[in-house]
Each structure stands twice: as C-alpha cells, then as structure tokens.
Amino acid sequence: MEQPKRALVSVSNKQGLDIFVRGLTDLGFEILSTGGTRRFLEDAGIPVVDVASYTEFPEMMDGRVKTLHPRVHGGILGRPTLESDAAAMSEHGIIPIQLVVVNLYPFEETIAKPDVSIPEAIEQIDIGGPSMVRSAAKNHAHVGIVTCPSQYAAVLQSLQNGSFNDISRRKLAAAAFELTASYDQAIARYMAAITSDANGNSVWPATFSPLLKLESSLRYGENPHQKAAFYVESSPHPTSLACATKLNGKELSYNNLMDLDAARAIVADFSEPASCIIKHTNPCGCAVATDLSAAFTNAYAGDPVSAFGSIVGFNRTVDEATAEVMCEPGRFIEAVIAPGYDPAALEILTTRPKWKKNVRLMQVQFTTSGRGAADYRRVSGGLLVQDRDDKFQDNSEWTIATKRQPSTTEAADLRFAWAVCRHVKSNAIVFAKDNMLLGAGAGQMSRLDSSFIAAMKAGDRATGGVVASDAFFPFRDGVDEAAKAGIRAVIQPGGSRNDKEVIAACDEHDMTMIFTGRRHFRH
C-alpha cells in the first residue's frame, strides 16, 4: 500500500492558503501544521495533524519553540532513497515530508512601521521558518519548498499533472535561498542601524550585500548598445519609483526611469501644487502655483525648447484642466508621474492624438515619510553608500548676511529656488522669480559657467529675480554676473574664505543674501 504524501505547512501570510492546501489534500497529502496556521486550516474545514502531537513535544515559550525538533527536520532532511537515512528515520519514528510550505514572520513590514520598538522588531525575527526553508531547499532532490503565495497555483498545477520534478524543485529551492538571504540581510541592516558606537553614531555594517529582485528587462540602457534591467528592493517604500504603477503608455526605458525618479523627488519637496519638467535628470522647468494647471504652465514656460521630449512630475492628482494644457499642440512629453489622475484627465491623456498609447502615465504615492534612506552609487570595484539628501529643508538656521533684508516676495522666491537647487547637478545655479524656475546652470566644471548658462536661459525675465547656488561662491564674480542679469537676491550655503568679498559685492549691488549653512552637491 502506497504511503501517504505529507506536507508541512506553517505560514505567516495566509493569502490563498486554504485553496492551495485543499488542493493538496485532494491529491492525497496529509497536512502537518502548527499554531495559527493549524487553526486557520481547521476553521476552513481542512483536516490537519498538529505538529506537537506528531513530535510528542508541546509548543513552548509563546511559540518560539515548536518546529525545532528532530522529527520535523529529520522528515525534511531525510533521504528516503539512502539506506542509512531510511533506517534512522524508521528507528526514530520520523516520517518523510515531501512538501514544505513556509513563509516567514513579517520582519521588514514590522520595522517599516513608524515608532516600532526594538523588542517588537526583534520578536519578528523568524527562527524556525528559515530553518525549515533551508532544510527543504538543501534536500530539494526529495522535498519541494514553497515560500510565497504567488507560487501556489503553479505548484498545484504541476502536482496535478505530474510535472513536479527535479527542475521544479530546484527552481523553488533557488527562490527559497534568495528569500532567506534577503531576510537575513534585512535583519543585519536593522541591527546595524540600531547599533551605535561610544559617541552615539550609527555604525555601518562590516559587509553590505543589497538583495534586489528583477522587476523588468529593459530594451537597452542609456544607449542602444548597452543592456539594462530594473531591479527593486524586497520591501521598497511605497513612495519610491519601485512602487509606481504604469497606467498607460509604451514600455519604460532606462532613461525614462531615471528621469521619472528625478521628477518624483523634486515635486515631493513642495506643499503647494507643483510641477516640474525634467531633461536628463535635471529640471529645465519647475513652478508652484495655486492650482496644478498654472504650475504646469509656468514650469513648461521656464524653458520650452528644452522641454521637448521631457518627463513631467506633479505632486497633486492631475485634473482635467491640467490634462488639457498638457495636450496643447506643439508639446512632446515622454512620461508623466503623479499621485493620481482624475477620470476626465485620464480620458484626455489616453485618447488625444500623439498621446493615446504612447505617453507613459505613472502613478505613485506621495507622503512625508520614507526620507533619509540610503543612497547607492556604483563605482568600479565597489559601492558608495550615503544618506539620501532628501530631508525637508529647515530654514531655522538661515542667516541674512547682507545689509538689505529680503522682501516678502524675495523670501518666498529664495525658498523656492533653494528647494529646486538641490535637485540640479553640481555646479548648480538656479535663477527663479514668482515661484518659477527661469534658468538652471547644471553640471558645469565652473560655478561661473553655470551662472552664465542660467542667466542666458532666464534672459530679461531675470530682472528682479533670485539666484540659488548649491555651494558657496568662491569669488564675487558669480554675484557680479547675477547682478548684471538683474538678480536682486541670493541664497547659498556660505562658508568660503572669501565670504566677506562676496557679501561686499552683494552690498555694492544692493542685493540681499541668505546663508543656509548647508551644501547640496549632486554629482
């Protein structure tokens, strides 16, 4: 008589579990289970054998110890085709287990919650789960390991049609080891983050192995001869590009994704309705206004020539009026990212000529959380890691360095220009007026060159405007050029040995200048 097949089921995420396990019982599987999973299956009317009754050892320590038992791991690790293993299993009353269905305590979801305590986080470190997963994955020649609800349908179908074979189990084992590696890395990162040195400073981990999963293969990279792919973190923040949803449009490219992330970051810095126009990760237009359509109109007017083939960002749900303005003749927009789209706006943006199925419409959450995460930059042979420069601006320590105080209008424009400036590649110079970007000098080797470019872009519109610089002016020449363009107010970090010379230049031109005390290099 054929021995019954057995499946050990112990999961935290019970999505779709009842359907899957009922399918296993229909195939003749006997189900072993523990604690909450056992009760869930019993409530669904599925017959279950309690692991504690099988091991003859009760759960203890609030469930911390339940599956860490030789009868459990012997059943998973045992090789029934090996005479010595079969003899040991028989001697100790160990039954072979053919399928292990396990997912882990929600550690990453727990630590993502605001105000989670360290003891709460530590309690969500799974011990028995990873042990069973690794045991089953190691013995995948005899045992299938299922670690995610998304695998249920395919596994059940292959069991039903008899195609659950060595290749199937090997693929599941690979996914299982990826899961445990990611899980351990999340714990290691968390422990490093809550560990401080004697001075209270956080300690970088001794090793760093980010684990990312493939989201999509891209047509190519920055250029057609470069292969590319998009990988995402295991638990990305909901405001990140990894969690954005494409509602319409063509396939996303490498450059699209880079520019969409830049657009998302800029508009997220403003509380007022804001729009930005991105080219090559730099803003060629940006504005805030009382309504979104005005913000877009002003942003696009900042540099209409550069806006051709651009990425547009919004920090409000796109309404019908804004959609109408975007679709005006002569505009060529590659993609849009926003927290949402009104039904009327979505209708316009997916039916108008040149838009239809072409323009990519992306939707992503905008919240005040999720800032200050680590930023990674690959260099040959290594990885540079730093805190992301995306914390909200604090003007409590700003100082007015000049004789003249800024007017109310100038102060507002200076705050706007400073917010935009940190998103522009260094050396960054930003000309602005009336909460609108007039011209940006980006990525130049000389700050003076950036000033020339910003002044050229702004033209006569710069008269009465303001200038922001991501780092201090090393000499007065940058201020002199701004004054020639008609600029009336300056905002910069300060801290140069030539600060007195720069302040004197501002006073000579009857300009006002604010020192922020914070630099925003962006390489």
d(CA 485, CA 463): 6
Yes or no: say if 420 and 430 are a contact pair by the CB < 8 Å rule: yes
Per DSSP bridges, beta strands 466-469 and 512-515 are: unpaired
Cα Dmax for the chain: 101
Q: Annotate 254-265 with b (16+ C-beta within 10 A) or e (fewer).
A: bbbbbbbbbbbb
Question: Which of 5, 171, 246, 280 does the annotation list as catalytic?
Answer: 280
What's 415's DSSP letter? H
| 138: annotated active-site residue | yes
| HEC sequence for 447-506 | HHHHHHHHHHHHHHHHCCCEEEECCCCCCCHHHHHHHHCCCCEEEECCCCCCHHHHHHHH
d(CA 191, CA 185): 10
- Cα separations (Å) of 146 from 5, 38, 84, 499? 15, 17, 27, 64
Q: Enter the tokens of residue 498.
A: 């030539």
Question: Which of 138, 171, 237, 250 does the annotation list as catalytic?
Answer: 138
For residue 465, the tally of other CB atoms under 10 A from its CB is 24
| 279: annotated active-site residue | no
Cα-Cα end-to-end distance for the chain: 71
Task: Report the candidate in 140, 70, 69 with the shortest Cα–Cα distance to residue 100.
Answer: 140
Cα angle 431-239-118, degrees, rounded to a multiple of 5: 120
Return the residue matching tokens 């994704």: 257
Rg over CA atoms, the chain: 30
In total, the chain counts a number of residues equal to 523
* CA atoms in the 13 A half-sphere facing the CB of 213: 14
357 Cβ contact list (under 8 Å, min separation 6): 248, 249, 250, 350
Q: Enter the tokens of residue 191.
A: 């422990």
Q: Enter the tokens of residue 120.
A: 């709460």
Q: Enter the tokens of residue 117.
A: 């305590």
Angle between helices 128-138 and 166-193 (to 10 degrees): 150
Active site members? 138, 280
